[in-house]
Amino acid sequence: MAHTVPVGQKWWSGGKSPFNVEYGKLMMWYFLMSDAFTFGAFLISYGTIRFSSSSWPDPNQVFRSFPVIGQMSVPLAFVSLMTFILIMSSVTMVMAVGAGQMHDRKAVMKWMFLTILGGLAFLGCQAWEWTHLYGEGAWWGRNPFINIDQTQSTTNFTNYFFTITGFHGFHVFSGVIINICMLIKTWRGDFEKTGHYLMIEKAGLYWHFVDLVWVFVFTCFYLL
Amino acid sequence: MDSSHTTTGFEKEKNSFDTKAIWKTFWILLAITVFELIVAIIYFETHFFPKHILNGVFVIMTLAKAFFIVAEFMHLGHEIRNLVMTIAIPACLFIWFLVAFMWDGSSYHELRMRYDGYQFEQSKTKVKPVEHKEEGKKPGVE
């Protein structure tokens, strides 16, 4: 909290925004807040079901495949790659926001392009993972995996996995679409006309939120 | 700086962007993720430490990562206190959500194990892993 309210400054007496941010950015924060509760509800429901089950499949057993290398078992390697891609695209997004603050149109376009590539790479990885699991017989309503203590597992495992990673993947997809729109607007010079790159900052907030949710999805499904 | 904004009444920080801080955050996030993976794989290979302690470590690491993403990447750590509080205080509801629902889940588990004979049997019966490659395989997939 680098910028606390200076002593004697009256933020609530009118004439200026008490939050010191633009309206649209504030609303983006509140939208993300509500979205966080949606994801939270999904993940907590998953947690409740998991707590009520006597056992659960071992993520190291289920998620141990990697493209190209065939049957070799590398637990969690692929999902780590996905995590790395998403964190990396978050960094390029911050760079785009920074370039926007400097009004450097070329740099904004470069960083937005890299962010979009990162998003597409993540979606590609997820498509591969889903296809692979489908090939192993896992889908909504079908669970080929057994619990870690060798007892019969239920379809709760696959239902939650596909629903929550799917919902997150849909957020990544919409994020990519938003970023493509922002790239086109930057390219057309729209933000030069309005005089600021705040739209990039708002798209950036959304994109980081997607990364934030992935951190929780990653822990809940692959580590715990 | 920009005339369009003085009318909305907020003061724009000049050149607050710090590339170094962003990369530092990136390295912290990467280091935490790699650490989590190493611990998860050591556990998978050796079962060296109890799983619930490990889970506690994972949860703390996750919250640390979430803090860095929100504070640095989303820049919330550099906004004024009024804004930080309107985000942070509602987020505290999650503490209650987690405690209440996890509690409910484990209570349901206990009830099932005590009163539902079928569930109890299931939790004791070992099964063989299904042959993945035969079942559910569609031509053209993988």
Neighbours of B118 (CB within 10 A): 8
Contacts of residue A150, defined as CB under 8 A and 6 or more positions apart, other chains included, come to B126, B127
Q: Are A208 and B69 in contact (CB under 8 A)?
A: yes
Neighbours of A8 (CB within 10 A): 5
pLDDT for A188 equals: 95
Query: Are the Cβ atoms of B137 and A135 closer than 8 angstroms?
Result: yes
Better-scored residue on pLDDT, A196 or B139: A196
Is some CB atom of chain A closer than 8 A to the CB atom of B6? no
Chain segment A11-53, per-residue pLDDT in tens:
788 777 788 888 999 999 999 999 999 999 999 999 999 999 9
Residue A224: Cβ-neighbour burial (10 angstroms; 0-12, 13-18, 19+):
middle
Distance of residue A126 Cα from the nearest chain B Cα, in angstroms: 14
pLDDT for A4 equals: 56
pLDDT for B7 equals: 39
| CA A55 – CA A154 distance, rounded (Å) | 10
Which residues in chain A touch residue B94, judged by CB atoms under 8 angstroms apart? 40
**Residue of A49, A76, A87 with shortest CB distance to B30:** A87
Is some CB atom of chain A closer than 8 A to the CB atom of B123? yes
Contacts of residue B78, defined as CB under 8 A and 6 or more positions apart, other chains included, come to A1, A2, A3, B13, B16
Query: Are the Cβ atoms of B62 and A98 closer than 8 angstroms?
Result: no
In 3D space, the residue among A61, A189, A3, A187 whose CA is nearest the CA of residue B76 turns out to be: A3
B106-113: average pLDDT: 94
In 3D space, the residue among B70, B25, B27, B90 whose CA is nearest the CA of residue A208 turns out to be: B70
pLDDT of A7 strictly over 70: no
Window 100-119 of B: residues touching A by CB (8 A cutoff) are 101-102, 104-106, 108-109, 112-113, 119
| CA A142 – CA B137 distance, rounded (Å) | 12
B49-62: average pLDDT: 89
pLDDT for B128 equals: 83
Query: Are the Cβ atoms of A102 and B17 closer than 8 angstroms?
Result: yes
Name the region of A223 (left: φ>0; alpha: ψ -120 to 50; beta: rest): alpha
Mutation for B interface: A37, A219, A220, most B CBs within 10 A: A219
pLDDT of A222 strictly over 60: yes
Q: Chain B residue closest to A152 (CA)?
A: B127
What pTM did the predictor assign? 0.87
State the complex-level ipTM.
0.86
Q: Chain B residue closest to A53 (CA)?
A: B109
Q: In which band, very low, low, confident or very high, does the pLDDT at B77 lie, cut at 50, 70 and 90?
A: confident
For chain B, the structural domain boundaries read: 14-91, 93-124
pLDDT of B138 strictly over 50: no
pLDDT for A5 equals: 56
Better-scored residue on pLDDT, A123 or B49: A123
Chain segment B2-32, per-residue pLDDT in tens:
444 443 445 555 456 788 889 999 999 999 9
pLDDT of A224 strictly over 90: no
Q: Which domains does chain A have, with CATH numbers?
A: 23-223 (1.20.120.80)
A163-183: average pLDDT: 97
* C-beta contacts of B61-64 below 8 A and 24+ residues apart: B61/A219, B61/B32, B61/B35, B61/B36, B62/A215, B62/A216, B62/A218, B62/A219, B64/B32
Which residues in chain B touch residue A209, judged by CB atoms under 8 angstroms apart? 74
Neighbours of B89 (CB within 10 A): 9
A45-63: average pLDDT: 91
Better-scored residue on pLDDT, B45 or A26: A26
Is some CB atom of chain A closer than 8 A to the CB atom of B46? no
| CA B77 – CA A2 distance, rounded (Å) | 7
Query: Are the Cβ atoms of B55 and A224 closer than 8 angstroms?
Result: yes
